[in-house]
Amino acid sequence: MKKLRFTKMHGISNDYVYISTFDQPEEDWEQLAIRLSDRRTGIGGDGIILVCPSDVADAKMRIFNADGSEGKMCGNGIRCVGKFVYDKGLVPAEKTTITIDTLSGIKTLELTVKDGKVQSARVDMEAAILRPADIPVRYDGDRMIDAPLEVDGRIWNVTAVSMGNPHCVTFVDDVDSLDLEKIGPHFENHPIFPERVNTEFVKVIDDHTLQMRVWERGSGETWACGTGACATAVAACLNGYCKKGDDITVHLRGGDLVIRYTDDTVIMTGPASTVFEGTVEI
Ligand SMILES: N[C@H](CCC[C@H](N)C(=O)O)C(=O)O
């Protein structure tokens, strides 16, 4: 029986099983993501994240959702990958600005370190993508902003944004009362999103504060979504609720992220936590 070493980590309760391939062999990650994510028969998580060697960055990450599908970017995940790489000495202790390669390109992180351990990270998430074909979303206009969309018999106004992965943002008067288990899958699998979609349900608190719940592609409702918080802040600016250049606090079920949307990039700042280490028989 083979054993696999893992580290359980989370970014404001968006939790993943982190596995290093610096010193462990490749496996069937799609199947393992399904098995290890199960909160009763597995380790439990919103998916698994691989921390791999890279020739072009300090490390490379791959993320697999709980249904085994591979995502192209994970905001809460990349902060934890930065913590994993630094805390385990995969970069020198003086190196607190690191790069992580992803399927959505190389991202730069500025790590906040205390007592030799990363507490949080400021991530340059790069430019928001708004061209429908690049999100992708089947939509004729040049950007999908505040557009009506029928989902499960109701009309919602949605804004489509990619942060390297697809997001559908809709603004509502109250997020706490939404039945995401019912409505989430209808958004996730809506035919206008050929690669499915992550959906953010957002209440505007004021011009620099948002409250958000998220139904993630491949994982269902998670307690936080970093790329989703970025897409939400971008959509709030595009819809006139918030202003470009301001720090926007996004309240998620698991905690807060601070997002700044400028003309050429999106900056996300938030915590990263290690819960426990272990080995699992596979
Ligand atoms: N479910 C997402 C990947 C995880 C993103 C999220 N956990 C984050 O923190 O950005 C997708 O399939 O695009």
CATH number at residue 111: 3.10.310.10
pLDDT at 268 over 90: yes
Nearest-CA neighbor of 71 among 204, 162, 137? 162
* Residue 63 shares a structural domain with residue 100: yes
HSE (side-chain half, CA atoms, 13 Å) at 210: 33
78 shares its domain with 102 = yes
For residues 140 and 250, membership in a common domain is answered with yes
**pLDDT tens digits, one per residue of 154-203:** 999 999 999 999 999 999 999 999 999 999 999 999 999 999 999 999 99
Question: What is the per-residue pLDDT across 5-61, written as a single tens digit (0 to 9) for each?
Answer: 999 999 999 999 999 999 999 999 999 999 999 999 999 999 999 999 999 999 999
Q: Which atom of ligand 1 is nearest to the CA of 77?
A: 9
Phi–psi pair at 139, nearest 5 degrees: -150, 135
The ipTM is 0.99
Task: Say yes or no: CB of residue 170 within 6 Å of ligand 1.
Answer: no
Q: If we measure between CA atoms, which residue out of 70, 170, 167 comes closest to residue 128?
A: 167
Domain match, 241 and 140 both: yes
Answer yes or no: do 101 and 139 share one domain: no
Could you give the number of structural domains in the chain? 2
* pLDDT on residue 263: 86
Domain of residue 150, residue span = 132-264
CA of 70 to the centre of ligand 1 (A): 9
Q: Residues annotated in the binding site for substrate, as ranges?
A: 14, 65, 75-76, 165, 198, 216-217, 226-227
In a shared domain, residues 83 and 148 = no
Cβ atoms of residues 159 and 146 within 8 Å: yes
Q: Which residues contact 60 (CB under 8 A, 6 or more apart)?
A: 51, 52, 53, 54, 100, 101, 102
Statement to judge: residues 137 and 248 lie in one domain: yes
pTM for the structure as a whole? 0.98
Question: Are residue 150 and residue 84 in the same domain, yes or no?
Answer: no
Could you tell me the distance, in angstroms and rounded to a whole number, from the CA of residue 267 to the centre of ligand 1? 16
